[in-house]
Every structure is written in structure tokens, then in C-alpha cells.
Structure 1
Amino acid sequence: MNEIDLKLTDNEWTLDYIDHDRIIARAIVFDDDGMLYFVRAERDDEFGKAVLIETSGGGVEEGESLETAIRRELREELGAQAEVVCRLGVVSDYYNLIHRHNINNYFLCRAVSFGERMLTAEETNDFHLSVLRLTFDEAEAEYEKCRCSKLGRLIAEREVPVLKLARKISENEST
């Protein structure tokens, strides 16, 4: 199966300049019942007021491998111990509003167990992160619903193609 390699632009906010890159590890996470896990963010900040769905993940820390970073992020945001099944690919996108280029490295991961989440103060107080457990169809519908905000559209453009690839891999595995 071919990995995704997408290069997207931010058509929501005007491009003044980009002054930094952020290397990010993200995952489509599934359990043994075929359910998927995402984070729900409820924001009211410079990006506007929005309720969003997003894959779990975050910035790769200095000296950390992508696989180590995604395992750490899944423990923090979902409380999940997970194994990496495969790499799904890379989506390069931009947040012009904060002058950032995002290099999103996506993985397909299987949740092995769940425990306590370890959210940062920002994730708890500013983003009000919670966990969503959805089917593929429910996840696609949720991304569509979140397209009513500028940030929701940027996230959906980045993540729906990855979700569709994960679905294709999942369907091939089950046949």
C-alpha cells in the first residue's frame, strides 16, 4: 500500500510569512473491536471558537524518534498503550495565522490497553481535550461537521485522506 505524501496550503488565513517548522507525529488508533480513537478539542483562541475532531498526536521532542513520540502522545492524550502497525505517510500543511509549517507524520496504531491520560495544562484548560470513540463512518461525518470553522477545514483537509487510507488498509486486512 502506498503511503500518503500530501502538500497542502492554508487557504483560510493570509500568508504573511512562515518562521518555523513543527515536526509532528499523529496516529489513527483502532482497537480490537475496530473502533477508532480521536481527540475532541473545544477551543476559543486566535484560531476562533470551534469544536474539532483531530487525530491524537503532537510535536516530536528533540532526540525523540517518530515512533517514540507517537507512543508518548497516545499515552498522554488517550491513555493508550499502543503498537505501531504501519506508517501511513506525511502531510505537510501550514497554519499561516501562527506562521507555522507542520510536517505531520501519520501512523496506524493498535491500542493494546487504556489507562489514565496525562494531559498538559494547555490541553486541559485551553483545548478541553476529550476522547472520541468512533467508527470510520462516524469519524468521516464528524470531520465534515467540523468544516464550519476555518481551523476545522484545515484539519479535515489534512486528516480525511489519511483516515480513508487507514480504512482501505483495515478493509484489506480483514479480507
Structure 2
Amino acid sequence: MATVVSVEAVFDAAAEAAVREEWAALAAAGMSSLAAHTSASNAPHLTLAVRPAEGGFGPFALPEEVASLLPLPVVLGAPMLFGAGDRRVLVRSVLPSAGLLALHAAVHAHLAHPGGSVAVPGEDAPHTRPGEWTPHVTLARRLRLEQVPAALALLGPDIPAQIVALRHWNADTATVTPLE
């Protein structure tokens, strides 16, 4: 997908600070880290839906069935690696819970069946579709394989978190819009 839009979950201040501390630790060790992305729109988040910008969706009002699920407790758990070759994406898993899966399903149901909002049906990225989604928070992209053991040693224990809000990300304009 070239240009995309997404719906993302954002965390409480303590969880955001804990993830940013891990970004900073990786960067201080000279490793790839999302700390290098200094855009105001860069914040720890959990992606719930991704679509091509053309035919995707724009900011919309959260339907009550989605908004009523927040705040939602989650756990940012064990590190995982995505990718192939000599570099990987380092992430923290987000432990699936009944509440998290209900939030994900509610967002996708709303996007698939617009009800007076600007959400429209679209082709979701495979990694965000219900049944194919691996919930995670990205820590680093393009981490060299030989750096993985040192990177893992920099990460702390599980991070208790609350999903406190959702936002709309537009990659074309590099903007985020809170969804209320």
C-alpha cells in the first residue's frame, strides 16, 4: 500500500512514557528506534485498521459501541520480531483480551457498515483484518539481526497500559486527528 489511512489506539501517559523510554534506550545504544522519528504525530500506538487512502476513510465520530469500550486496560507484553533478511522490526506484543478483540471488531464493523459517518467499506491491510491481526506496538524498524540480543536486554518488563483514545492517521498529509 502506498498511501494509507489508519485507525490507531493511543495509550495513557504512563504507558506512553514507558514506550518512549524504550525508544530512547535503543537510540542511545546506537540502534534503530522510533525515537528517531521526531514528528509531532509520532506516538506509541496500536494500529486497529489500515486501508489505502484512496477509497479508505476519513476522520469520523466514534459510534457509542466503540467509545463505550474505552478506557480499555491492556498489557504491552513480550517482544517479537517481524520481517525477513538481515533486519527486523522489533515490537512489543499487546496481549489479546476479550476487551481488545471486541474493540478491534467494533472498529472494523463500523468501517464496514457506515452508519451516518464518513467511514466507508475498503480493502483492509491483511495484518489488521479481524482473524489476521497481530496486536503490537512498534519499537524499532530495520534492527540488525546481530543487535537483537542487546536490544532485548534494554527492554523492561511488561507494561500495563490503558487505551484511552482512538485517532485517525493520514500518511499522505502526515497528520493525526483524534476520534471523538
| Fold-level similarity (TM above 0.5) | no
What TM-score, normalized by structure 2, do the two folds share? 0.25
Structure in which a larger fraction of residues adopt strand: 1
Structure in which a larger fraction of residues adopt helix: 1
What TM-score, normalized by structure 1, do the two folds share? 0.26
